[in-house]
Amino acid sequence: MSSRYALPVQRTRWLEVVGFAVAFVAVHALLWWLTSISANLPLGDVTITYRRWIETGGASGFWVGIHEDWVYPILAIVPMAAAALGGVGSIGTGWLVLMIVLDAVACGFLWRFRGLGVRVVWWWLAFLLALGPIGLGRIDTVATVLALVGVAFVATRPAVASALFTAGAWTKVWPAALVGVLLLLRRGHRRGVVAGALVLTALIVLVDVLYGGAAHLLSFVGQQTGRALQIEAPLATPFMWAAAFGVPGAAVYYNQEILTFEVSGAGTHAAAAVSTPLMAVVVVVGVVLALWAARRGAHRAEAAPLLALLFVAALVATNKVGSPQYIGWFAVPIVWGLVAGRPSARRFLPVAVAAIPMALLTQVIYPGFYDQVLTVQPWILVVLTLRNVLEVAVLVWSVVAIVRLGVRARVTSVPVVPAAGRMDA
């Protein structure tokens, strides 16, 4: 490139960096402000529940996950404690600062990736804006950021990607599904994937055992088994409408033991009971279809984000828990699909577009009008139903996309030049 063209190109790049930095600060400032004005306490888990755990641990030395069973994997205690370094009383401020820093780090790792000529971080920023303050106000943010950074290493350093996904799983479980995707579809590098996951897991277990937490290390596994249907879960939608229409026995109630709102009524126990088996069936079907597509010659680089999306959609759409922060999980497989080469980016474009209104509807539900959800007002149930339909639609789309990928694949693969963020075919 001649010097007469180099300067304008450099200036354009710097303008883009500055423009993104301004947009990043503006979006996060707005999200911070929304956490402070919402009547439904989008930061309540941090300022009430997380604070209580850290306050108790600091005062008495009795820590959740180490000295008693806990709902989260043990690594989740680290960001909670880090947010309280400036004092437990200011944990809310510390938490928001920490989450914004983590988001900035993720953007730094993803900055070089483009999907159809556009930097993918712009999509993620728009998604965060649509999702609202819940995108910062839960431990899920930490797991999502770790997973997003892991996506940046999938093509070049699968062992690092596996370690980052594993760190996310030891924070909020669900990124373990991404490790499974690497094991299934990262052909030729499975040893590195396994090593990355096992080394990090061994370090976490060793530290936990040294602190005396061996007896409670896996306590999070059984913490969700006895739950009924949470009101926002897709499986709860018909029962919420039954409550709105005054069907006897159908009602929203507060579960004092696990601090969440659930729905009662004829059939709710059966729906809750079928949730986990249904999720397992969907996941197994997804694995079978992805391996079938790969054996027919489909590029594994393109199959991997589709399977990751199917896993995440299954975890959300068939779950008896429907917490609003779960929607943030969709960012990871979508970003993965957008950076996995031009064919994958074209394929993922409709899902990337659909995820924005899905996130926005979630913000309307919580923290926007959650009090009206609790009183089963019909208009907000329409919003909730639309959001849940989108979740199921993404799941169906991922299944269809994997099938189409396999049908169109040639049995003999044609070598391709890997794109940025793309795995070996």
Structure tokens at 230: 């949470």
Q: Confirm if 184 and 203 have CB atoms less than 8 A apart.
A: no
Note whether residue 148 is domain-resident: yes
pLDDT for res 419: 43
In a domain, 424, yes or no: no
Q: How far is CA 407 from the centre of its chain?
A: 29
423 domain residue, yes or no: no
Cβ neighbour number for residue 374 with a 10 Å cutoff: 15
Does 290 fall in a domain? Answer: yes
Measure the CA–CA gap between 421 and 222, rounded to whole angstroms. Answer: 36
Query: pTM of the prediction?
Result: 0.93
Looking up tokens 């043990």 gives 74
Q: Does any domain span residue 389?
A: yes
Contact 114, 108 (CB under 8 A): no
Number of domains in the chain: 1
| C-alpha–C-alpha distance, residues 108 and 123, integer Å | 14
Residue 219, both tokens? 């306590």
Q: Look up the domain containing 129 and give its range.
A: 3-408
Strands 251-255 and 114-115: unpaired
Query: Taking phi first (over 0 means left), then psi (-120 to 50 degrees means alpha), and beta for anything else, what does residue 203 get?
Result: alpha
User: Exposure pattern of 141-171 as b/e (b: 16+ CB <10 Å)?
Assistant: bbbbbbbbbbbbbbbebbbbbbbbbbbbbbb
Confidence (pLDDT) at 422: 44
How many Å separate Cα 146 from the centre of its chain? 10
As a whole number of angstroms, the distance between CA 139 and CA 288 comes to 32
How far CA 232 is from CA of 203, 263, 327, in Å, comes to 36, 9, 12
DSSP state of 277: H
- Amino acid at residue number 59: A
DSSP alpha helix (H) spans, 318-341: 331-339
In a domain, 336, yes or no: yes
Please give the structure tokens belonging to residue 262.
Answer: 């659930």
pLDDT at position 134 is 96
Give per-10-residue mean pLDDT for the chain (425 aa): 58 88 98 94 95 95 94 96 96 98 97 93 98 96 98 95 98 97 87 95 96 93 78 97 96 86 94 95 97 94 97 97 96 97 96 98 97 97 98 98 91 44 40
Structure tokens at 14: 């710097």
With contact defined as beta carbons under 8 Å apart, do 53 and 66 qualify? no
Per-residue model confidence (pLDDT) at position 414: 47
Residue 214 within a domain:
yes
Let me know if residue 416 belongs to a domain.
no
Give the Cα separation of 137 and 120 in Å (integer).
23
- In the structure encoding, which two tokens stand for residue 351, read together? 């899902």
pLDDT given for residue 411 in this prediction: 47
Task: Kindly give the pairing relationship between strand 114-115 and strand 260-264.
Answer: unpaired
Task: Classify residue 408 by its DSSP letter.
Answer: H
Residue 61: how many other CB atoms lie within 10 Å: 9
pLDDT on residue 14: 86
